Structure 1
Amino acid sequence: MTRPPTQRPTPRSDDDQTAPLSTEQPSDQHTDLDLLGTPELVQALLDDQLNAVRAAQAALPDIARAADLAVTRLQHAGRLVYVGAGTSGRLGVLDGVELLPTFSWPPERLVTLIAGGERAMFRAAEGAEDDEAQAVLDLQAHHVDAGDVVIVLAASGATPYAVAAARHATQLGALTIGVSNNPGSPLQAAVHVPITLDTGSEVISGSTRLKAGTSQKIVLNALSSAIMVRLHKVYGNLMVDLQATNRKLRLRALHLTVLASGADPDAARHALHDADGHVKTAIVMLRLGLNAEQARHALTAAGHSVRAVLDAHP
């Protein structure tokens, strides 16, 4: 793994007041926002969200590079580690937690860190984002190492907790990915793969929970989903590695098994029962006429890829 490139834009000092962050600049649009009628107010807020999509699209090459590098680590027992503060930290926790039921991502291979700890998910702990030492302690407490993928989020790109975590994780040899909304930020210089979402000023000036936050959520959706597809947790465009832990998800598992196998619902239901609810196993059983044990063995031998198993048995 190469270290972060040395040729980067000069990082902005945390104390540099001469060049305000673009996300903190007052917007020159809707300067009379508080005078708008409610429909016009909502329209202004919605219209500005489209810029979050454009910013994410502009970052596509970096998102793709981050996904490819992450897969290389995660193919070997590496963990996904999300780090952030405030809104960015909450978005990281949300993305990580949703991987468990959606893609059966093992909980022991997920670490979510937010400045201020778990309580900061529900109540703002703004002072915690300045604690650089705690960021290092949090990484040490979870034994982050060179096998892990660390995704650090900070709209400003200068949040001390986030930047300190990124620097320390990089020093440990972990793959570090930084998602920020200001070009030339300290976070960009601290990570292997910087993803910059240049969303600029907000309709409500300084409120980075708006399109800056939306752009981060878009990137996290795309990045983690792309990683999971590359790790064979999707067959075609079907989510075949979900955890069917409630009635809705059990029905979804049945539907996915029928779609992927071509079997009738009764046959799919019996296969899922024998496969302990595992959609991948049920698909292989039905498509190849195997029992559950044989299907599990075939999947293990093929790196848990349904497509690889089926391609090997035309």
Structure 2
Amino acid sequence: MTNASPSTEIADPRYRGLDTWKDEDVLAALQGGHARAVASVEAAIPMLAKAARLAAEKLADGGRLIYVASGSPALIALGDALEIPQTYGVADDRIVTILAGGLDLVHNFSGLQEDDPEQARIDVARFGVGPQDCVVAVSASGSTPYTVEGLRAAIAGGAASIAIASNPNAPLFEGADVAIHLDSGPEVIAGSTRMGAGTAQKAALNMLSTLIAIHLGHVYDGLMVNVRADNGKLRARAARIIANVAGVDEASARVALEATNGEVKPAILIAAGAENPAAANELLNENNGNVRTALAAIARSGVR
């Protein structure tokens, strides 16, 4: 390959003879590739911050966060999207994935669908993507036909747009409101972008979705105050969060959690002195779901 190739496709000369190396040296090279990939995300922090604010504004106004991707980036985007409702209590229908091959890709992983731009247009139209939404399109090369056309169709429909790719001047960046270049460099195994590029994508999407949740008021200090407590582990975590934030013991926290049917934010306010779930939810509505400002309102009222 020549230097005209996308950086993710370049065969890096430092890995010549890789298949003859000792196991420990191969693994060290792979680990080094992942470390460089994670480090590459630091340069993208300003654009990730801009993207998070854009997406949070759309969600706060009643819109959706929509991921568009193909191949390995689709699997990474799907993982991030599935976690957001559980971790931060965002309604399931507000987080959408438009993936080449649909959810069948988890059973039949094939690259054929990546080359179908017409299907991307059909899928974007089927989900009714429009001005109320924010679309995040992810592609290592930045030139995958399905992903490029999917974002193009979303932009044409008026959606806010975020493009993430590992090659500069990627077609995916054209017309995007926010272009995020993750310069993860050549892969240890040339073109195997599930490795370095995938690691950078996972880090970037985790950072993006976490900052979105912070803007939406779903994080207090380092705690997930809107976690969906739907199993024993998460109910125990929710009780600890309530106790920590409200300054009560865990027994009192559990009582508050039961009073709100497992909803953590109003339970925090009840533990802090709100009269009942209705009063707690009214306080949250008045403060745009922000626990910190709602607690400040309770403190000013002298309830406790």
Match of 1:129 among 97, 103, 114: 114
1:1-314 matches, cutoff 5 A: 19-314=4-299
TM-score, length-scaled by structure 1: 0.92
CA contact (8 A) 1:93 1:113 kept: no
Deviation of 1:299 after TM superposition, in Å, equals: 0.8
Deviation of 1:288 after TM superposition, in Å, equals: 2.3
Sequence identity (%): 38
SS at 2:186 equivalent: coil
One-letter code aligned to 2:199: T
Q: Give the superposed CA RMSD.
A: 1.3
Deviation of 1:206 after TM superposition, in Å, equals: 1.1
Decide whether aligned partners of structure 1 residues 289 and 162 sit closer, same or farther in structure 2, where only a CA change above 3 A counts.
closer
CA contact (8 A) 1:149 1:175 kept: yes
CA contact (8 A) 2:147 2:172 kept: yes
Counterparts of 2:226 and 2:263, CA distance in 1: 7
CA contact (8 A) 2:135 2:162 kept: yes
Structure 1, gaps ≥5 residues long: 1-16
Question: After TM superposition, what 4+ stretches of structure 1 lie above 6 angstroms from structure 2?
Answer: none
CA contact (8 A) 1:166 1:190 kept: no
CA contact (8 A) 2:37 2:185 kept: no
Counterparts of 1:297 and 1:247, CA distance in 2: 28
Counterparts of 1:269 and 1:22, CA distance in 2: 53
Counterparts of 2:25 and 2:99, CA distance in 1: 35
CA contact (8 A) 2:72 2:194 kept: yes
Q: After alignment, is 156-165 or 303-312 more displaced?
A: 303-312
CA contact (8 A) 1:115 1:125 kept: no
Counterparts of 2:59 and 2:204, CA distance in 1: 19
Counterparts of 1:289 and 1:308, CA distance in 2: 14
Counterparts of 1:121 and 1:187, CA distance in 2: 24
